[in-house]
Amino acid sequence: MFGLKKKAEPPKRSKLVVAAPLSGELIDLSSVNDGVFSKKMMGEGFAIKPENGRVLAPVAGTAVTVFPTGHAVGIRTKDNVDVLVHIGLDTVNLKGEGFKTLIQEGDEVRIGQPIVDFDQDVIEKNGFETTTMVVFTEGFKRPIKVNPKQVKAGDVLIQA
């Protein structure tokens, strides 16, 4: 009316909530024994040295990638933040042995929903580490500072 235009407001982003996908020791990504992760080539994130083999979704969203080997899952939030959960180091070489995916690509997942079960003994007996990385591959560029500590699966680690 009267030629006055209301300024368009940018779409509101919902709050990003990220929970620990496992119980164990929370560590900084730079402490991981893999250059790709420790140098943050894939993005910011954190890692957990797990106490058990049940992995929960760290965010709510859509499963966009579920590796056939079960060692990694990608979840996209409704605000287009892509989160990769990568179980172990070089565990792709196990070709799925010791991993059981509990979701499929395209599934909607809730924060805290079980997404993968893995057998720590199988991974370790084959000479691989079980350290699990959570990396923001798209849509989240802020630095993450981690204070090493014990966490429980489902503990909220990031609210942004």
Residue 8: strand, helix, or coil = coil
- 104 burial (CB, 10 Å; 0-12 / 13-18 / 19+) is exposed
Q: Which of 27, 50, 86, 123 is catalytic?
A: 86
Task: Find, among 73, 82, 69, 133, the residue nearest to 107 by Cα.
Answer: 73
The runs of H, that is alpha helices, within the chain are 35-38, 120-125
Q: What is the pLDDT of residue 13?
A: 58
pLDDT in tens, the chain (160 residues): 445 555 555 555 568 999 999 999 999 999 999 989 999 899 999 999 999 999 999 999 999 999 999 999 999 999 999 999 999 999 999 999 999 999 999 999 999 999 999 999 999 999 999 999 999 999 887 888 888 999 999 999 999 8
* CATH fold of the domain at 17-159: Glucose Permease (Domain IIA) (2.70.70)
Q: How far apart are CA 28 and CA 97, in angstroms?
A: 27
- 140: which 2 tokens? 């989240």
Q: What is the pLDDT of residue 134?
A: 97
Rounded to the nearest 5°, which phi and psi values hold at 99? -120, 140
Structure confidence by residue, pLDDT tens digits, 130-148: 999 999 999 887 888 888 9
- Record the tokens describing residue 114, joined without a space: 């079980």
- For residue 1, the model assigns a pLDDT of 46
Going from the C-alpha of 27 to that of each of 1, 2, 5, 7, 53, the distances in angstroms are 57, 59, 50, 44, 17
Strand partners, 76: 62, 82
- pLDDT tens-digit profile of 89-102? 999 999 999 999 99
- In the residue annotation, 71 being an active-site residue is answered as no
Instruction: Give residue limits of the domains in the chain.
Output: 17-159
